[in-house]
Structure 1
């Protein structure tokens, strides 16, 4: 790059630093910056547009356009050339702006006399903050050196915007990370929590983006990259012979860490006047913008690798990061892009809530959050770029809403809601020891779901009659190697000890789909939810199933034992699984081990096919549990991880309830115990309707037992059933409106 261009860029950045250092209000700084840029680039116009909200850009400063247009001219994301730059995060450089597709003339600005246009996104780590624009009367394309200089300046503007340099009197802007913000995500674990942000990966803040000495900055960058390469090589050496996917990721890291092109681009940014960390962030922002536009999965993965490596490099340069020793705030609420089950368990019950940018309703983290009864909101887009450690935050897991730095009215309404919830819990405590018997004398057994030892202490206080589902896969998911038979036997024995005289139903390993063991290679399947999972894995690879069954038999040590096989789709699968149990019993007999005093094996009915299994299946199986979460998505052909479709189908749909009723009738005929396990079992209105369809056992998270029991004890099942039948006879698609009207009339 020519020395003149480097020198001019550094001069401009030096003048910008002087302007930013002056003790002046934000608007005065913005005004001075536009003048500096216009004179340095040699254009008549320089304008800065910043986001007013997620969809609106506002002209915040200009040199050359009409002064009265400042803070008056606004445009929507994607509107005009400025909106196009903001939406696409790509530069627009044209000699004839009016002829460009999407051009929009703003008469209040007086821009009609300017032909040339160059717009550069002001962005930081994928977060779009605004657009920097230069315009001139002469029809010309801006040179690559000029565009590059504008990119560097835009990077500095992004950092300064981040640090609040443009707030103050007259700026009509409030600082980023001080404004209230609301995020709409998805509910993964219900509940409400108030607390303070704790970032799983703290953001690195670049406090000085403008360099004093480029050579010193290059030396700092070279040293940080050398340290990075050493750390990646050490990680790779430790991973050899282990998980192939982890090795592949680390090899990609090493490739990027040794990339001469990556280093050269950052050195060019430093030559233009940026500090080493600002240069890293500039290239990281470019990569994130590409990642947002990429449709190829492989390219997205590689850009994600580069993004992660850039974070490591920034932590090397700044000393900021997760190992700074900062104290966790009071009532911490964890904010992360995503998190694994082992990492989440490390935090344990210290957390009051969790908010993830990614995640899913069936993910490992969700399972652990439910086990720990911690409210969890997923798909809270861009919250990691908005939140700072210590920020006040409200998490509404019921609605999937997150309020960051909320104003007083939001806090008051939230606290009123949580107070009502607390009062309701007090009412539920008064009926803890009472049965869930309806007004017409029907008793429903209410059980709790569990998956960790941490769940078991809540068994007595919840009012549950036992554990209707103990998920055994969590002990596998949080480990890097296969647990042994003896270790599992001790764990299962401890679970039974903790439950006392209350029954526990152990579900054998339910892996596959979204639950991939860290020490097993994931299967490349186009639709894993319908693929090689649960009992299919157990029967195809019976070693783990046999080991687990032996551990359960030994854990019982003469006590009653209930074992349930997951994802049984046809009678033959149950017969094969039961045969494995028989083999395990014979082995234990030969070894002289004590057998359970009473052994019952059951099946989870999670596919519609099993509802139509031969009568022989219903006669032979010793109990059935309907797995409502999976059954509903297969029944409606609606992926429960897909936000576009999963909420379109109602549990109280007439077809679904009729299917449930048919299963209940078949079980009544063969006197086969039947229960319903899943999220819907813990929702009072859904639970009431399931009971009206003939279900007499429901298994749910512990916190749901009180609300469900309260409604059942105040309801008449025969009347609810009449309401459902009337809705069916009318041809209603869902019985929900009719049932809600009936409940309202009952007070």
Structure 2
């Protein structure tokens, strides 16, 4: 670019900065900016369109169009050329705009006189905020330098909007980070909570997007890049000899940190008037835009690496980040794009709730959140860009809703709901030591699910009669290398000690699908939930399975031991797993180690195929535990990670309930103990129906035991079974309505 053009670009940005520095209301500033841009770029029109909501753009300021159209002209996302820029985040540069596909004429603006059109997105790190447009009567395409200049101005506008530059009387924008916002996400762990935001990765705010001294800014950039390269080299050195996958990621980091093209582009941005951090953020926005369009998995991974590296560089340049000296609030609600299990465990039970922008209901973070009994919402879109440290927040993990900066009406209603739940918990505490015995005299055993040592203290206070599922994979997921047998044995022994003689059922390693060990090479499978996971991994890697079985036997040290194998789909898989256990028992005997006083070996029934296994399968297992979460998604062919389909199918659907009853009858024939384990076991109405059709043991999160026991003790299961049967005979799709009508009559 010629020096003269660079100078003009810098002059425009300096004028823009000076205009923004002047006092005045938001609308006045926007009007000045459109006039400044039109004058500097020698165009007849400059207009700023901003989002009023996720689907609507509004003309908020203009130089050249009819003044009365401001705040009156609105466009839907994707409508017209402006809507196209907003939807695609791509530039539209046309010499003859009326002939462009999707052009929409807006007569109220008087724009029919203007032929040429240049529209660029106003966005901050991929978050769309609006569209900046210039138009001219002369039919021409704008030059690359003009396009670049408008892009840079749009970026500065986004940064200044972030800092609240357009707020005031008659403002075109509402105050960012001050308005109440409602987020709807996916329920990862039920529960309600109130607290204040704690950002896992505090948002970097660029306060000086425009700089007058390119040489000084370039020097700052080079110094920060040098620090970045040193930190990447240190990470590489500490990881040498370790996991190859981690090394590959760090090698990619090093490649980007030393990329001459990346550095040169940022130097060019600085030469045109941006500060060092604004230049980093501009290139980061470009990478994020490419990431949003990329379909190639490898390219997406590399762009993610560049995004993470840009964040590191921004934290070096601004001094902002995790170590800001800010104190975590007393009632922290963690907000993150995503988070690993080890990082989440570092926070521990101090968290009131967790809100993730990404994640999944089966992710490592969700597993840990359930183990810690912390409400979790995932897929809360844009929460990391909207929330600030210390913001007041309400989390309804039963509805999948987050209220950020709620108003007083919402706060009062929410606190009333929490008070009602607290009163109910007091009622549940009064029946903690009483059996879950129904009005018709049927006794139902209620057990709790666990996965961490920290869960075990809640065993006595929950009223549970033991641990129906202890997830052993968490100890594998939170480490960077395979745990040693002695470590696992000591942990399992502490679990049995803490249970104080109550039964604990250990599930062997359930990994694969979305639970990939950090030190295990992930498999690129088209459908991981139906792929290489759980017992399939154990049987293909018998050394790992045998090591875990040895640890369990040594932990028992002569005490009773119950264990079960996950995801058994057919009889031979159980036979092979049992054979591995027999080999371990024989070896432990030869080594002189104490064998369990009693040994119960069961399986989780999570695939429909196992319900139709030969009778000898039900005769050879000591117990069966229905894994409701997986079984339900396979039964209905509805991915439980997919919000579009997972709620379409009711657990109390006649087909599913009849299928469960068929399993009950098979187990009765062979006198095989049966339990139901999963989220639905902890939902009182579903739990009642399972008990009514003959499931005698239910295993759930500790907080659900009180509500389930309370309802069981007030219900006649024989009458409820008649209601269920009548609903089925009537041809109902679900028995829920009939059951709810019956329960209302009893109250």
TM bucket (normalised to shorter chain) is over 0.9
SS of the aligned residue for 2:644 comes to coil
User: What aligned pairs does 1:66-215 form with structure 2 within 5 A after superposition?
Assistant: 66-215=66-215
Partner of 1:216: 216
1:220-260 deviations in Å (ceiling 9; x for gaps): 11111122122212222322332222122112212211222
Match of 1:565 in 2: 565
What is the distance in 1 between the residues matched to 2:215 and 2:186?
Answer: 48
2:528 alignment partner in structure 1: 528
Tell me the distance in 2 between the aligned counterparts of 1:21 and 1:256: 36
How far apart in 2 are the matches of 1:739 and 1:333? 37
- List 4+ stretches of structure 1 deviating above 6 A: none
Deviates more, 1:287-296 or 1:310-319: 287-296
User: Which residue does the alignment assign to 2:579?
Assistant: 579
- Using structure 2 for the length normalisation, give the TM-score: 0.99
Match of residue 710 from structure 2: 710
> CA–CA distance in 2 between the matches of 1:347 and 1:511?
23
Rounded Cα–Cα distance in structure 1 between residues aligned with 2:31 and 2:606: 64
Q: Distance in 1 between matches of 2:189 and 2:230?
A: 41
Shift of residue 626, structure 1, vs aligned partner: 0.6
Long gaps (5+) in structure 1: none
- Cα deviation code 1:374-423 (max 9, x no counterpart): 10000001111111111111111111111111111111111111111111
What CA distance in whole angstroms lies between the structure 1 residues aligned with 2:545 and 2:291? 41
SS in 2 for 1:348: helix
Q: CA deviation at 1:323?
A: 2.1
Deviation of 1:623 (Å): 0.8
What secondary structure does 1:468 align onto? strand
Aligned to 1:541: 541
User: Which structure 2 residue ranges, 5 or more long, are not aligned?
Assistant: none
Residue in structure 2 matched with residue 248 of structure 1 by the alignment? 248
Q: How does 1:8-19 map to 2 (within 5 A)?
A: 8-19=8-19
SS at match of 1:370: helix
* Matched-pair contact (CA < 8 Å) for 1:338–1:357: yes
Q: Does 1:507 align with 2:477?
A: no
Distance 2:67 2:300 in 1: 43
Please state how far the C-alpha of 1:172 moved relative to its aligned partner: 4.4
Aligned to 1:366, what secondary structure does the other structure show?
helix
Aligned to 2:462: 462
Pairing 1:13-32 to 2, within 5 Å after superposition: 13-32=13-32
Once the two structures are TM-superposed, the CA of residue 308 in structure 1 deviates from its matched residue by 0.7
- Count of aligned residue pairs for this structure pair: 747
Q: Distance in 2 between matches of 1:301 and 1:500?
A: 47
SS state of the match for residue 567, structure 1?
Answer: coil
- Under a length normalisation based on structure 1, what TM-score does the superposition of the two structures give? 0.99
TM-aligned CA deviation for residue 545 of structure 1:
1.3
Map of 1:45-84 to 2, 5 A cutoff?
Answer: 45-84=45-84
Task: Check conservation: 1:51, 1:57, Cα contact below 8 A.
Answer: yes
Q: 1:699 matched to which residue of 2? A: 699
- Give the secondary structure class of the aligned counterpart of 1:61: strand
Q: Say whether the 8 Å CA contact 1:243–1:521 is kept in structure 2.
A: no
Deviates more, 1:611-620 or 1:166-175: 166-175
Match of 1:685 in 2: 685
Work out the CA distance in 1 between the residues paired with 2:113 and 2:87.
25
Within 1, Cα distance between the matches of 2:573 and 2:130?
Answer: 58
Question: Deviations along 1:325-380, whole A, 9 cap, x unmatched?
Answer: 32112211000011111000000011100000111111111111011111000000
Deviation at 1:98, TM superposition (A): 1.3
Q: Please give the root-mean-square deviation of Cα atoms over the aligned residues, in Å.
A: 1.2
3-state SS of 1:201 partner:
coil
2-side partners of 1:288 and 1:524: how far apart? Answer: 23
Query: Quick check: 430-439 or 572-581, which moved more?
Result: 572-581
Q: Residue 191 of structure 2 contacts residue 396 of structure 2 at CA under 8 Å; is this kept in 1?
A: yes
CA distance in 2, matches of 1:558, 1:250: 47
| 1:728 and 2:708 matched | no
1:248-294 Cα shifts (integer Å, max 9, x gaps)? 21122122112222111111111111100001111111111221122
- 167-176 or 385-394: bigger deviation: 167-176
What residue is the counterpart of 1:607 in the other structure? 607
The within-5 A match list for 1:432-451 is: 432-451=432-451
The CA distance in 1 between the partners of 2:720 and 2:360, in whole Å, is 34
* Deviates most, 645-654 or 125-134: 645-654
Equivalence for 1:234: 234
Q: Secondary structure at the match of 2:103?
A: coil
Does structure 1 retain, via aligned residues, the 8 Å contact 2:654–2:735? yes
Are residue 596 (structure 1) and residue 596 (structure 2) matched?
yes
Instruction: Compute the displacement of 1:50 (Å).
Output: 1.2
Residue number in structure 2 paired with 1:556: 556
- Residue 472 of structure 2 is matched in structure 1 by 472
Q: Which residue is 1:275 aligned to?
A: 275
**Counterpart residue number, 1:417:** 417
Q: For 2:510 and 2:740, how far apart are their aligned partners in 1?
A: 36
State the alpha-carbon separation in 2 of the partners of residues 170 and 208 from structure 1. Answer: 26
| Structure 2: distance between partners of 1:427 and 1:78 | 54
